[in-house]
Structure 1
Amino acid sequence: MNKNKTIENPFALSIEDTLKALAVTSEGLTDAENENRLEQYGYNELPGSFETPRWQILLRQFKSPIVYLLLIAAVISYFFGDIAESIAIACVILLNSGIGYTLESQAIHSMQALRKLDKTFCQVRRNGELITIESRLLVPGDIIQLQAGDMIPADSRLMEDQRLEVNEASLTGESVPVVKQSKIVLEEGTSLGDRVNMLYKGTSITKGNAVAVIVHSGIDTEIGKISQMVESADKDEIPLNEKLNQFGKKLIWLTLGLILIFIATGWIRGNEFYLILETAIALAVAAIPEGLPIVATISLARGMMLLSRENVIIKKLAAVETLGETDVIITDKTGTLTENQLVVHTVVPVADDGEVLQLLMMSAVLCNNSSISQDGDLQGDPVETALWDYFRKENPADFEKIRDEWKEVDELPFDSDIRYMANLYKHGEQFLSVAKGSPAELLDKCVSAGDHIPITDEFLDEWNQHTEQLAREGLKVLAFAAHRHTKEPSGIDADLHFLGLIGFLDPARSDVENSVMECHKAGITIIMATGDHPATAEAIARQIGLGSGELKIIHGSDLDKTEGAQWESMVEGAHIFSRVTPYQKLQLVTYYQDNGHIVGMTGDGVNDAPALKKSDIGIAMGKRGTQVAEEAADMIIQDDAFTSIVKAIRQGRIIFGNIRDFIIYLLSCNLTEIMVVSIAAFLSTSLPLLALQILFLNLVTDVFPALALGMGKGNERVMEHHSRDPNDPILDRSSWISIFMYSAVMTLTILAGYYYSVHFLSDSYAEANTIAFFSLALAQLIHPFNLTSSGDSFFRNPIFRNRFLWIAIVLCLILLAIALLVPFLNEILSLAMPQPRSWLIILLASAAPLFIIRIIKKITKS
């Protein structure tokens, strides 16, 4: 734990003031001072782990009111001697929990990414000498020495720099390496991405060398603050879980209400206690859709498996359906919407002249430290490899000729003071100076432009405007200059002639635009939240069609300046948030959630982790994503393609439709059982169905058809409609009306067959009970075909063409036959072999609902 307060805003202090505030000299700390500060500040490491314990994964499989209800039913059945019934219910619970545990265990990776960032070593000045120590032993005040390829071990204030560039994409989201400068002093309000005199833990040096003094270590670093936000970013309950829990709670009260009513009614009528108890247990079993947890779990699991084939890894089952409810996607730019690879976007020569264009190409190729590996891959700085890639494709012959003929004589490395680099080359007796760098600084160094065009004030104004225009389009702009010498010049950068500008861009992924259009059609709002420059973000947004007309862009610094209603007013309707911090991303996710939206958050960097965890569905990029982002997310896109997100959303919507269908199916079947038992009980007749028979039906003729409905392919036009209101329950008013209508019709035909058997044919109770059992069983197997709308053809609809449904029906018929023909089973279920006339009643009672419901739907056009 840190006991001392570290200095604030070190980027706003000079090097001397920083060293003074840290009470250290340029010689570094002594061993004694280091030990003292280690006691004060603690180790330079990040606490905590992102791994979910296996026991927690197991326990959350049981966290459902429906499972609680099943447990109660199992205990009651056992207490009253119905051992077989109790064992059957327990098996249902264990099967459901086992499936969920197995799948989630496979999907959750035990990655401890933040700790992996700490397993590094660093060169540090200790007692005036340069030594190598483990990075976890570093403390504020330590002076470290870094070079290209090093991972920065702690937040540090630059003291010295040489051609220093740092890749901060994982922290800020900016794809272009940042040129760092030690001597500059910044204002206190400078945003994280613009602090060019600072180095941050977890980022890496791509070019140059540096000496820096550590100002923050451990949890006080920027990445440490992010790790704390990840831990504190509590995720709201997954919408499907929440709705199923609400549904389960209502079911509990319904079941208890029915039991109390019948106990009271039976007691008042003076019925035998055993009859009252038998009816209560039958009603309890009928009210509980035992198959619901299993079918929901398997349906979601199948969705998980299907998405895995589309390069989407789902870590939690219920997150599959959450995708279908998502109506806001907050997406990072770099690597998510873009290729995360710079390319040459625009070439603006100073004159349309062959000599100028040739020299411009030579400057781009020769003023370049890139190399080509044995495999033909380009290696080096992203800007320089982009130049080689461009000219190698544009003029392959000239590219190779330039590289082969010209030999380097000398180099002027990039320096943050002059802000350009230059090289001197020789070919035969000719010398060639080439340079590239900041347009303002390089223009100031040039003596003329092109073929002896004078550099006047008007010329400078014109090219400054060119530079500003390219920057407004979101391009990184470099200027190029060269000069041919007949003899070796006095200086590498002597007598340079300005040749023009080249603009670089991390381009949008080619497939993103269509995916964005599909999201808009589906009523999904896409918002870009990036640490990159506003102009760069806007350029990408226009490429992908993020918004029509004028784009509303909010700078991260503006978010810090406002609060309350003014903050919300500014955020509302915004398309782009640029230069945002991790905390601001977290704020945005919370804002949209508080306004009733289901929020998906995409990201790949450490900076995205808190918002990924807080969002309803965190979506991490698998290729470019950090392990920290993957740990915080609910799903991982392995191919980093935005199109995969759209596929996942489509699958989520299909799954929700399937879940709604099989819940309607299960509830209408269970309500039929309740109505059959309750009406018979009110009429004081024998029960048409026994508790164990109802349980058998719930676990056989309910589960398999419901499971088949959960595996349907869904409506092909599911993405042409806006996402449903996340506040809506799983079943709306029309769904409940359909459930009651289905149940009433099936109850009518089942009771009609039962009473015809008892009162007109004078069948025994066992015979009539068997008729009711098989009538209801077959009616339930036919019932899925009632779920189609009146406008659909009976033979040409997704349900009729669902091959899994036909397999389920055949399987259930086989199981019913086994239950009837196997002596042990028919004895447990109290079944008698039906007479031929009884089979006729069974067929009529089970098939009649299909025709009656079809007629009702035609009349009501539902």
Structure 2
Amino acid sequence: MWNQKISEENREKLLLAKNAFQKYTRQLEFEVSPEHLSTLHEQNDKTNPEKLAKMGGAKGLADILQSDLQMGLCNKESKSKFRDRKRHFAENRYKEPEFKGFWPLFKDTFDDPTLKILIVSAIVSLILGVTIEDPKTGWIEGTAILMAVLIVSFVTAINDYQKEMQFRELNKVKDNITCTVVREKEAEEFAGEGEKLAISIHDIVVGDIVVLETGSKVPADGILFYASELKVNESSMTGEINEITKTPEEDCWMISGTEVTQGEGKFIVTSVGKHSQWGKIMEKAKSKEEVNTPLQDKLEKMADQIGKLGLYSAILTVLVLLAKWGFKLYLKLNEGEKFVFHDLVEVVDAVIVGITIVVVAVPEGLPLAVTISLAYSMKKMMQDNNLVRKLESCETMGNATCICSDKTGTLTKNEMTVVEGYFFGEKYEQVPDCEKFDEKYMEIFVRSIALNSKAYFHYDELKKKDIVMGSKTEGALLIMLKKWEREFNEIREDEEQLITKCIPFSSKRKRMTTIIQDGNGYLVFCKGASEIVLDKCKNYIFEENKFILDQDKKNELKKVIHEMASTGKRTLCLAYRRVDSSLCDKDWFSNPDEIEKDLVLLSIVGIKDPVRDAVPQAVKDSKSAGVTVRMVTGDNIETAKHIAKECGIYSEGGLAMEGFDFRKMTDEERLKIIPNLQVLARSSPQDKLVLVKHLKEMGEIVGVTGDGTNDAPALKEANVGLSMGIAGTDVAKEASDIVILDDNFKSIVIAIMWGRSVYDNIRKFLQFQLTVNVVALATSLLAAISGVGLPLKAVQLLWVNLIMDTLAALALGTEPPTKELLKRRPYKKDASLLNGIMKRNIAAQSIYQLSVLLLILKFGGDFFGLDPLVAEEKLHLDCIVFNTFVLMQVFNEINCRKINDEPNILKGILNNYIFLVIWVGIISIQVIVIEFGGSFFATTHLNAFEWGVSLLLGFLSIPLGFVFRLIPAKGDPQ
């Protein structure tokens, strides 16, 4: 084994490590617990470097891990030995969410309580139908119900499967990430030397030496042992908004998932995969307990109420029938007749009637309507840049009352751009064409940007465009050169070797300076914070001359700087100077104050991350929809307030505050100020999490955006977590419910609109379904009690309850969203699924339909010239009842397209071709069922007059629906 030998020196180091960590695994073979090594990367260990020192620092770790800081791991090791490392320390892969195949997903669908009721009802109906009712036809009803269950389960499982596959497709991008490591070459002539290799991050093992450059992502946890002006953006993991300077002496802890923004370095890998900080956070992100959404809770409550109604009606019916049977039996026995087994047939019939009523009462189409509406919306939302990871988050988003949004990349374009500036002595409100400037100074200006910068462009194959790597501020200058069609890369390639000294930017100096050889002297390029660099300038350029920069002129320029800053722009001053080589001795090179004096001002630029074009209107739409938008950002408060004003988030009377002040407050104080809080600046991830928790305590339904790993807790805590598809980390996406593929706030508003459409579509179907069920239930109940027999046969009810309702679920569940959905406030969390308007519509239509059916049963014989006492004519009359019942539902389906007293029920109907096709299809199928159904459907041929009467009675549902809407009724509470 590769780990069998270990020196005495390393053995002592292991013992020291054991004392430091309290627990340390040490067996005959080489063993190091990755859990313990990973504790080096915890925050408290950053302030306690003694533990690392006891292990001998990075060199000691390399010895323990049988690696070499210069050569890396030996490629002579067999692949099996690398597998040993992966097996012992884990692979550098993060546990992906468990992916269930289609059949497990199909099996899970049967946990739905509504489906369970259907299955039990179907089995009982099947047994009774075959054994007692009629062995030849008694199987039809139970079998058909079981088929309905299979349809619902298959649709649900297929959509869940497609959802998982789509999300996995999105995450495939991460498999293409490569990194650079140093490993010892195999060839003997290169023994003792290490070479740089580009490998997949999944192939990194503990002990590898990873090379970092500007723009690199840190692929694992480790200890830094070499750095040159290395700065790392750790905001994705720690929430720190500033770049962190990394050195082997001070801050040597490298954290997976972070990004190098400047410089270069090398570190030795100590923790990978699940043991890294990234992996641990991802595990925590998966630990959220699943809870029902508001709609799920309401549907469960509704299903329970409907089930009880059906059960009570069935019990009442059975009791009445049993009472009638008991009275008849009493009279029979009183007359001296004997009890025979056949007398129990009526008891069995009563039980069958009761079960039939229960089956009729259960809304078979409801779970299918929910699935269809959610699945259809999910697919359409994908086209609107919303990848829905959890179907139920669609409807939850529709009831959102608050959105806590990041700024960068969501409200803004995440593209730092030079938008105005002071160039060569003149102020420009917009960046002018470079042809306006003297070429002599233009050449100096371009060189100053190209050489005094570490940023560069990288072509992203996925996005099909160049993206800035490194400092986004420096990137803004490069973008300006690109628009001017100036090739900075050629300048870098030609003159990079002329760079003599580079004084990097630091938060203390707030400027960066580069010195390059230029003939017999040197050129000094300086850029940085405008006020600081401006104070070091002696001259400025105007047209072809240099002018003295006196105090009056400096004051004028400081006013220009203030004007830019007050409008949310970051200002940057660029300057240069020529220095004769005779002045450049050793002391001069080591004295930045001497280097950076008597500068010539080239430009002061205003850099801005512009607000996305569609954001102000999207925020306005959100407000009209009753959704409060809050900006939660790490920016300083003045910039945040200005951007929030541009977006329409920050308004008069609103509150903007910093995370530091928010943090100091008590819970009671926070609850008082949160209703007016519009901007939370300089906020930490913990601030965002606390804000979300408080909002939920206040009864808000909260949506939260996030892109960093550190956003995962808030994303999981929110009712709907919205991660960014472009800038978002894998952890953020895993923690979220919806992935915004274009990182645009406008897409979030579209998600709200779709969510409301889902909720309304389900309510539309519920209004339709309950009308059908109430009428069918009441008709069956009254017919059973009156003793006239059930006019709607079991297979007919099946057609109504299953086939027609399934198609209605598809028709009403796919109504497209409209802008009108954003003109009302969200439904309250405790609002009933059925509002007063819907209850009125259901009651009014049910009364009309029930009255029609009872009148046909009572007087239809005389009206149509039929004798109910004759079996064939009774069948004919029942067929008219059945046909009229179905056609009333068909026309009422048009009424059900609107649930909030909208006067025009036909508005937008031509935009939903699915509804039109299904509506025509149902009528066509009904014609086939009536005319050709025969004994299977218990139907017979109807003449033109009978069809005309049925159609007229059905059509009357529409004008009567208009009349019914004039009856006052309460809508949803706002």
Structure 2: any 5+ residue segments left out of the alignment? 1-33, 68-84, 130-137, 185-191, 327-345, 428-436, 541-545, 590-594
Deviation at 1:776, TM superposition (A): 0.6
AA partner of residue 432 (structure 1): L
AA partner of residue 414 (structure 1): I
Deviation at 1:852, TM superposition (A): 4.2
Answer with 245-254 or 579-588: which moved more: 579-588
Is the alpha carbon distance of 1:42 and 1:63 closer, same or farther for their aligned partners in structure 2, counting shifts above 3 Å? same
Q: How many residues align?
A: 838
8 Å CA contact 1:46, 1:114 repeated in 2: no
Question: 1:284 — aligned with what?
Answer: 358
Deviation at 1:524, TM superposition (A): 0.9
Is the alpha carbon distance of 1:740 and 1:387 closer, same or farther for their aligned partners in structure 2, counting shifts above 3 Å? same
Deviation at 1:264, TM superposition (A): 1.7
Question: 2:333 — aligned with what?
Answer: none
* 2:407 is aligned with 1:330: no
* 2:97 is aligned with 1:66: no
TM-score for the superposition, normalised by structure 1: 0.84
CA distance in 1 between partners of 2:155 and 2:490 (Å)? 64
Q: Give the alignment of 1:480-491 within 5 angstroms.
A: 480-485=574-579, 490=584
8 Å CA contact 1:749, 1:849 repeated in 2: no
Is the alpha carbon distance of 1:538 and 1:650 closer, same or farther for their aligned partners in structure 2, counting shifts above 3 Å? same
Deviation at 1:255, TM superposition (A): 1.8
Question: 1:435 — aligned with what?
Answer: 526
1:630 to 720, 726, 733: 733
Deviation at 1:293, TM superposition (A): 2.2
Partner deviation per Cα, 1:299-351 (whole Å, 9 max, x = no partner): 32222232232233223333332222122112222222222222224545796
Is the alpha carbon distance of 1:496 and 1:726 closer, same or farther for their aligned partners in structure 2, counting shifts above 3 Å? same
Percent identical pairs in the alignment equals 25
CA distance in 2 between partners of 1:539 and 1:494 (Å)? 33
Is the alpha carbon distance of 1:532 and 1:482 closer, same or farther for their aligned partners in structure 2, counting shifts above 3 Å? same
CA distance in 2 between partners of 1:289 and 1:405 (Å)? 76
Deviation at 1:481, TM superposition (A): 2.8
Question: 1:390 — aligned with what?
Answer: 480
Deviation at 1:202, TM superposition (A): 1.0
Question: 2:385 — aligned with what?
Answer: 311
Answer with 488-497 or 222-231: which moved more: 488-497
* 2:102 is aligned with 1:52: no
CA distance in 2 between partners of 1:274 and 1:69 (Å)? 21
Question: 2:416 — aligned with what?
Answer: 342
Partner deviation per Cα, 1:126-185 (whole Å, 9 max, x = no partner): xx998999986548xx997644354324456767642223344644678x9826254997
1:250 to 293, 296, 305: 305
AA partner of residue 671 (structure 2): E
SS at match of 1:92: helix
8 Å CA contact 2:231, 2:246 repeated in 1: no
* 2:230 is aligned with 1:164: yes
Partner deviation per Cα, 1:363-408 (whole Å, 9 max, x = no partner): 3455345668999968654333321322554x66899999999997
AA partner of residue 504 (structure 2): D
2:599 to 473, 497, 512: 497
8 Å CA contact 2:511, 2:533 repeated in 1: yes
2:245 to 180, 183, 206: 180
Is the alpha carbon distance of 1:388 and 1:669 closer, same or farther for their aligned partners in structure 2, counting shifts above 3 Å? same
8 Å CA contact 2:753, 2:818 repeated in 1: no
Q: Give the alignment of 1:831-846 within 5 angstroms.
A: 831-834=939-942, 838-839=946-947, 842-843=950-951, 845-846=953-954
Partner deviation per Cα, 1:182-213 (whole Å, 9 max, x = no partner): 4997xxxxxxxxxx886432112243123568
* 2:752 is aligned with 1:649: yes
Deviation at 1:95, TM superposition (A): 1.2
SS at match of 1:209: strand
Question: 2:935 — aligned with what?
Answer: 827
CA distance in 1 between partners of 2:456 and 2:43 (Å)? 39
Is the alpha carbon distance of 1:144 and 1:714 closer, same or farther for their aligned partners in structure 2, counting shifts above 3 Å? closer
Deviation at 1:601, TM superposition (A): 2.2
CA distance in 1 between partners of 2:673 and 2:655 (Å)? 9
8 Å CA contact 1:442, 1:479 repeated in 2: yes
Q: Give the alignment of 1:212-291 within 5 angstroms.
A: 222-270=277-325, 272-291=346-365
AA partner of residue 164 (structure 1): L
CA distance in 1 between partners of 2:666 and 2:195 (Å)? 48
Partner deviation per Cα, 1:739-796 (whole Å, 9 max, x = no partner): 1221111000011011113577423332222121111111111212444589766685
Question: 1:769 — aligned with what?
Answer: 878
AA partner of residue 475 (structure 2): T
Is the alpha carbon distance of 1:463 and 1:835 closer, same or farther for their aligned partners in structure 2, counting shifts above 3 Å? closer
* 2:217 is aligned with 1:151: yes
Higher relative contact order (CA 8 A, sep 6+): 1
Is the alpha carbon distance of 1:251 and 1:482 closer, same or farther for their aligned partners in structure 2, counting shifts above 3 Å? same
8 Å CA contact 1:473, 1:535 repeated in 2: no
* 2:145 is aligned with 1:89: yes
Is the alpha carbon distance of 1:465 and 1:839 closer, same or farther for their aligned partners in structure 2, counting shifts above 3 Å? closer
CA distance in 2 between partners of 1:843 and 1:29 (Å)? 86
CA distance in 1 between partners of 2:206 and 2:556 (Å)? 50
8 Å CA contact 1:170, 1:605 repeated in 2: yes
Answer with 159-168 or 248-257: which moved more: 159-168
8 Å CA contact 2:841, 2:965 repeated in 1: no
Is the alpha carbon distance of 1:705 and 1:819 closer, same or farther for their aligned partners in structure 2, counting shifts above 3 Å? same
Deviation at 1:297, TM superposition (A): 2.1
Answer with 692-701 or 428-437: which moved more: 428-437
8 Å CA contact 2:307, 2:358 repeated in 1: no
CA distance in 1 between partners of 2:816 and 2:324 (Å)? 52
Q: Give the alignment of 1:419-430 within 5 angstroms.
A: 420-424=511-515
Question: 2:500 — aligned with what?
Answer: 411
SS at match of 1:743: helix
Structure 1: any 5+ residue segments left out of the alignment? 186-195
Partner deviation per Cα, 1:629-666 (whole Å, 9 max, x = no partner): 33333222333322222222222222322221121011
SS at match of 2:35: coil
Deviation at 1:454, TM superposition (A): 7.8
1:367 to 438, 452, 456: 452
Question: 2:887 — aligned with what?
Answer: 778
2:367 to 293, 315, 322: 293
Is the alpha carbon distance of 1:52 and 1:789 closer, same or farther for their aligned partners in structure 2, counting shifts above 3 Å? closer
* 2:35 is aligned with 1:2: yes
Deviation at 1:24, TM superposition (A): 2.5
AA partner of residue 260 (structure 1): I
Question: 2:844 — aligned with what?
Answer: 741
SS at match of 2:286: helix
Is the alpha carbon distance of 1:7 and 1:653 closer, same or farther for their aligned partners in structure 2, counting shifts above 3 Å? closer
Is the alpha carbon distance of 1:349 and 1:813 closer, same or farther for their aligned partners in structure 2, counting shifts above 3 Å? closer
Is the alpha carbon distance of 1:397 and 1:683 closer, same or farther for their aligned partners in structure 2, counting shifts above 3 Å? closer
* 2:210 is aligned with 1:210: no
Deviation at 1:668, TM superposition (A): 0.5
AA partner of residue 100 (structure 2): P
2:856 to 753, 761, 783: 753
Partner deviation per Cα, 1:677-702 (whole Å, 9 max, x = no partner): 11222323322222222111122343
Question: 1:529 — aligned with what?
Answer: 632
SS at match of 2:498: strand
CA distance in 2 between partners of 1:143 and 1:518 (Å)? 52
Partner deviation per Cα, 1:8-58 (whole Å, 9 max, x = no partner): 6458748x75744x54246332544779xx99x965857643233235533
